[in-house]
Amino acid sequence: MAGKAVEKRPEVDPRDEPSAEWGWHGSFPKATRIAGWLSAVILLLMIKGNHENNTENVWLVGLAAFIVLLLLLDLRKSRTAWRK
């Protein structure tokens, strides 16, 4: 039965995290993902412009691809987190 018991997370020590004393202490995973997808789309929309050469386009596509890769890795991590 010990394996099915719910683990209790340790409390956040206010000496390490001063903001834990006065309120909510966490992150914004949904807003972060939305901002990431918006950033990638905006970078790809910036390709249409008055560029002299394709160096700017390579950077824009590369950064957008990197952001999408990170978002997909985060999605995979969140889907498999319950298995661990």
Structure tokens at 61: 């596509």
11-66 residue pLDDT tens: 666 666 666 556 666 677 888 999 999 999 999 999 998 888 899 999 999 999 99
Per-residue pLDDT at 20: 55
Q: How far is CA 50 from CA 12, 19, 22, 38, 47, in A?
A: 51, 46, 50, 22, 9
How many CB atoms are located within 10 Å of the residue 47 CB?
Answer: 13
Per-residue pLDDT at 4: 62
Per-residue pLDDT at 5: 64
Per-residue pLDDT at 79: 76
pTM: 0.66
